[in-house]
Each structure stands twice: as structure tokens, then as C-alpha cells.
Amino acid sequence: MQPTLLILAAGIGSRYGGLKQVDGMGPGGEAILEFSVFDALRAGFGKVVFVIRKDIEAEFRERIGNKIEQHIAVEYAFQEMHTGLEWLPQAPQREKPWGTGHAIFAARDCIREPFVAINADDFYGADAFQAIGDFLRNQCAPDCYGMVAYRLANTLSENGTVSRGVCAVNPEGLLTEVTERTKIERFADGIFYTDESGTRFPLADNTPVSMNFWGFPPSIFEELETQFRAFVEANLDKPKAEFYIPTVVNNLLHSGQVRVQVLSSDSQWYGVTYPADKDTVQDALRGMASEGIYRPGLW
């Protein structure tokens, strides 16, 4: 069975200032997510599911979907504030969507096979898709998840701080914990994260970090439903609370229900957290095209 690529593209992009999911970054005006689809195709994936919002559907289909559908099967799922809350008498007032765990849960009716979940606005590299594709075909099981971890130094922005899921990995290559660290940046004396008190703590360049590149069996949707309901009940009065996928994975790890195989990548990760990151990404993709890694027109 061919694995599925799930692309989380419902984000608002408040710091970026626009729909970075569909913004042209490649030398032919391609969005970053098009490179992910292209790499997934080469790695043997059979379907793409886009998680989007209803209010961007028309633009997304016109700029992305119609093009991608010529090369691979495409389905759409929708993440709205009320998605998955049919059991509540009244949906709570929200200031933002419920987070990555909720976004994945929104695709529950579209996926029946092992899948990888990624961010729409992150460039991961072809080797990462080959690695996770092999894992999904050969190792993925209800009690065995996978993830691709990146070297922290390969994931920073020159234009501001970033948040990263810092991974603890045991000698067998299994994940033991993901800890969210915010306000990470490089200083003259190394990479540091800053906590809420303003204290800086060092992080090594080769620290493995999660960039939301997860490999799951379809059974994850049952767990997402259970944990999301509990999360909503505990956060009805917190309009900014978010249900993150690393939290779901941590809960399952701590209860001994799953193990997570960590697949490492030395690829340079690229993303557009800030508007100024766009130039860096465009230069990188242009360079890859000139080196023959991608065709200048991609498709």
C-alpha cells in the first residue's frame, strides 16, 4: 500500500503577513509545498491530502490543487474552529485554530493508510521523504510511529527567533521526549533558547529537533479524538490554547503505548516564519534548480 502525504495548510501566517502556503518561492513561482509533493512522488507516495480552511479553498485550488491533481490523487480536509466539536452543546469562542494535532485530526475521513504529516510552509529535502517512505512501508504499525529529526543548526532563521521541538533520543534511536523550546536564536557564542524569565540556555548545533515531519498509522486518529476531547474540556476558557501533535506523541510515549523511531536528516531545512525569510528560501531553491536537483519549472 502506498503511503499518503498529509499537508497542513490551514495556518493563518500572522507573523508572515499573508498566505505563505501558496506564495511563490521556487524559480518557476512554485509554493514550497509543491516541492514536498514532488519529493513525495519520487519516494513512492500515492495520494496527497491538504488540510485547509474553507475561506481559502478557492484560491488554494486555483493556485495549487488544480496543478497537483495532474500528477497525484488529491483530497481536501477542512480545519475550522468547530471541526470535531459536534459533541459540544456550544462551540467555545476562539482567537485562533486549535493547533497541529487538531489539523491532523481534521483529515480523519480521508486517510486509511500509513501517512506522513508535514507543514505546508516548510522545505524538508528529498532524502527525508525517502527515509519516511521506507519507514511507512516497512515498519509503521499501531504501536510504532516515526519522525524525521533535523540538526538544530540547519533550522534557524536569520531574521528572528524560532520555536523548535527539542528531541531526546535513546541509544536505540527511539524518541523519549519532545520538549518545546521557544525564542531560539544564534548568538556570537552559540545557539541559545530564552525561557519566560529571560534566562538563556545553550543548545548544541547538532541537537535533534522536530520540524513536524511525522509518520503515523491510521490508528492515530482514534488517539487524536480521545486526547483532543480531553484537551478541549480542559481548555474551554482559554481561547489561545493549542493542541500540538508533539504533546499527543509525548502522552503516548509516557504511557508506553507506542515507540517512535527517529530518522535523522542532515538536509538544510528551509521555512518562512518571517517575511524576510522569503529571500533565503528563494535563493536556496534557485540554487537547487541550477544544480539539477529540481527542474527549473518543477512540473
Contact 200, 178 (CB under 8 A): no
Q: Is residue 162 part of a domain?
A: no
Which region holds residue 292: left if phi is over 0, alpha if psi is between -120 and 50, else beta?
Answer: left
Contact 208, 153 (CB under 8 A): no
- Give the domain CATH number at 47: 3.90.550.10
pLDDT value of residue 13: 53
Q: Is residue 13 part of a domain?
A: yes
For 79-120, the pLDDT digits (tens) are 998 888 889 888 788 877 899 999 999 999 999 999 999 999
Domain span at residue 247 reads 4-147+209-290
Helix axes 245-254, 220-234, angle to 10 degrees: 110
Q: What is the DSSP string of the chain?
A: ---EEEEE-----TTTTS-TTT---STTS--HHHHHHHHHHHTT--EEEEEE-GGGHHHHIIIIIHHHTTTSEEEEEE--TTTT-TTSSSPPP-SS---HHHHHHTTTTT--S-EEEEETTEE--HHHHHHHHHHHHHT-BTTEEEEEEEEGGGS--TTS-EEEEEEEE-TTSBEEEEEEEEEEEEETTEEEEE-TTS-EEEE-TT-EEEEEEEEE-TTHHHHHHHHHHHHHHH-TT-TT----HHHHHHHHHHTTS-EEEEEEE-SPPEE-SSTTHHHHHHHHHHHHHHTTSS-TT--
Q: Is residue 82 part of a domain?
A: yes
- Single pTM value for the model: 0.93
Rounded Cα distance between 222 and 158, Å, is 39
pLDDT value of residue 20: 67
Q: How many separate domains does the chain show?
A: 1
pLDDT value of residue 4: 98
Q: Is residue 188 part of a domain?
A: no
Q: Is residue 155 part of a domain?
A: no
Rounded Cα distance between 260 and 270, Å, is 24
pLDDT value of residue 16: 45
pLDDT value of residue 17: 47
Q: Is residue 101 part of a domain?
A: yes
Q: Is residue 184 part of a domain?
A: no
pLDDT value of residue 11: 74
Q: Is residue 191 part of a domain?
A: no
Point out the residues of the chain with pLDDT beneath 70.
12-20
pLDDT value of residue 209: 96
